């Protein structure tokens, strides 16, 4: 019993000494910190005063601004951390590479509008196109060559075309009036006498008209704009999403589009051409959006083959480019009936034009 009591007493005394040592250490550190703070303030007082005079503010106002900047930076770091936690793949892909070879040219992908469309300057080197004169034919050739070199030189997963601006301006009002339609794609059937079809929802999206690019946009450092730019002479940019009808019914706004067409109008005013880009969704993107990656299996690397993607793109021309060609009146009436008179819309008539497209 005595041994136990002494042991406890010894332990208690040792703890008291440790507490005293810690207390003295805390006091010494606090005294050192306060002296350091005083020394820091006096050391940089002249610099702070000069900066405050340069910015036309007092020292208190300057300190307040610095604190606000620090708070804003802290909020940005927290937001970035939350984004990385919620969407790790997206956050990693948006992080700029430290490799010099992958750095983008100044102003290469800067958009002043709110368009979600990938900037044309991130696809084509607009700076070189503007530095030396290029005809619309030369721009079209560059556009075709670029997309043919994708996917290891096979061009798989992409469509491209060059559209004269006058043709695009005829198509655009129709798309704005009738922004949705259904396009059938022929499918193989077990019975030879019967033909199968897969229907795709076509959805148009209209975006701000981009301003014509100029060499000043790519200067480094960027030249400040003297005034707010006026209305763009270019027509509006447009996108078209193609989604299987069954997929759309099941998931609605969360449905994955199988094909996305983008009409780039950046060079419409300067070169008289609208550049069309089609992107077929990779199969891995569809699998990632499903609760289980093995829920649906797709053959190949993309959700659509090249032929089906071309048929859908041709459907845009057939139903939205109104002219005096054969069957044009029937296609116009189908598009109008789909929106204005749903009860009069006939699927049988639509299938006839699917054969013509195929």
Residues 206 and 345 in one domain: yes
Asked if pLDDT for residue 20 goes beyond 50, the answer is no
The residue-averaged pLDDT of 184-211 equals 87
Q: Does residue 141 sit within a domain?
A: yes
Residues 86 and 124 in one domain: no
Cα→Cα distances 16→20, 36, 40, 185, Å: 6, 30, 36, 85
Q: Does residue 311 sit within a domain?
A: yes
Region of poorest pLDDT, from 69-73, 75-79, 167-171, 208-212: 75-79
List the beta bridge partners of residue 158.
279
Q: pLDDT tens for residues 270-323?
A: 999 999 999 999 987 665 555 543 443 444 589 999 999 999 999 999 999 988
The residue-averaged pLDDT of 233-256 equals 94
Residues 132 and 242 in one domain: yes
3-state DSSP percent of the chain in helix, strand and coil, to 5: 55, 15, 30
Asked if pLDDT for residue 65 goes beyond 80, the answer is no
Q: Does residue 60 sit within a domain?
A: yes
Residue 18, H or E segment: helix 2-43
Q: Residue 215 — pLDDT band, cuts 50, 70, 90?
A: confident
Q: In this structure, are residues 196 and 187 in contact, taking their beta carbons and an 8 Å threshold? A: yes
Q: How far apart are CA 320 and CA 326, in angstroms?
A: 14
Query: Domain range for residue 72?
Result: 47-92
Three-state SS at 162: strand
Residues 51 and 127 in one domain: no
Q: How many domains does the chain have?
A: 2
Q: Does residue 331 sit within a domain?
A: yes
Q: pLDDT tens for residues 139-163?
A: 999 999 999 998 888 889 999 999 9
pLDDT, residue 161, reads 97
Q: Does residue 13 sit within a domain?
A: no
Q: How far apart are CA 244 and CA 256, in angstroms?
A: 9
Residues 180 and 55 in one domain: no
Residues 352 and 281 in one domain: yes
Q: How far apart are CA 344 and CA 54, in angstroms?
A: 74
pLDDT, residue 64, reads 75
Asked if pLDDT for residue 235 goes beyond 90, the answer is yes
Cβ contacts of 111 within 8 Å, gap of 6 or more: 119, 210
Last residue of some domain: 75, 92, 109?
A: 92
End-to-end CA distance of the chain: 100
Residues 88 and 129 in one domain: no
Supply the mean pLDDT for the chain: 75
Q: In this structure, are residues 310 and 161 in contact, taking their beta carbons and an 8 Å threshold? A: no
Q: How far apart are CA 280 and CA 7, in angstroms?
A: 78
Reading the block at residue 190, the tokens are 């077990």
The residue-averaged pLDDT of 113-130 equals 84
Tell me the three-class secondary structure of 188-217, residue by residue: CCCCCCCCEEEEEEEEEEEECCCCCCCHHH
pLDDT, residue 18, reads 40
Q: Does residue 260 sit within a domain?
A: yes
Residues 168 and 306 in one domain: yes
- Locus of tokens 């036309």: 56
Residues 78 and 144 in one domain: no
Residues 153 and 59 in one domain: no
Cα→Cα distances 86→81, 91, 288, 357, Å: 9, 9, 14, 43
Residues 73 and 176 in one domain: no
Residues 297 and 259 in one domain: yes
């Amino acid at each position: 019993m005595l041994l136990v009591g002494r042991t406890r007493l010894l332990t208690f005394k040792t703890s008291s000494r440790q507490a005293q040592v810690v207390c003295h250490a805390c006091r010494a550190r606090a005294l050192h910190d306060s002296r350091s703070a005083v020394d820091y303030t006096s050391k940089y007082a002249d610099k702070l005063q000069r900066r405050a005079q340069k910015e036309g503010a007092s020292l208190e106002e300057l300190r307040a601004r610095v604190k606000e900047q620090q708070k804003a930076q802290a909020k940005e770091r927290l937001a970035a951390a939350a984004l990385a936690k919620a969407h790790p793949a997206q956050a990693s892909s948006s992080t700029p590479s430290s490799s010099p070879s992958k750095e983008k040219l100044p102003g290469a992908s800067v958009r002043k509008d709110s368009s979600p469309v990938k900037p044309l300057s991130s696809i084509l080197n607009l700076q070189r196109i503007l530095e030396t004169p290029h005809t619309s034919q030369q721009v079209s050739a560059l556009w075709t060559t670029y997309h043919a070199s994708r996917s290891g030189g096979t061009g798989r997963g992409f469509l491209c075309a060059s559209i004269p601006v006058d043709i695009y301006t005829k198509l655009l009002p129709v798309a704005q009036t009738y922004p949705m339609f259904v396009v059938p794609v022929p499918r193989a059937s077990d019975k030879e006498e019967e033909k199968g079809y897969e229907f795709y929802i076509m959805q148009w999206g209209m975006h701000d008209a981009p301003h014509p690019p100029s060499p000043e946009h790519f200067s480094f450092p960027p030249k400040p704009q003297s005034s707010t730019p006026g209305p763009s002479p270019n027509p509006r940019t447009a996108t078209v999403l193609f989604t299987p009808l069954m997929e759309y019914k099941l998931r609605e706004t969360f449905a994955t589009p199988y094909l996305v067409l983008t009409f780039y109008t950046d060079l419409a005013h300067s070169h008289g051409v609208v550049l069309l880009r089609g992107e077929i969704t990779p199969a891995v993107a569809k699998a990632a959006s499903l609760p289980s990656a093995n829920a649906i299996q797709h053959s190949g690397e993309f959700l659509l083959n090249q032929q089906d993607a071309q048929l859908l793109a041709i459907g845009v021309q057939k139903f939205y480019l109104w002219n005096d060609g054969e069957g044009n009146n029937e296609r116009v009436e189908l598009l109008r009936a789909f929106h204005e008179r749903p009860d009069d819309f006939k699927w049988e008539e639509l299938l006839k034009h699917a054969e013509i497209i195929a």
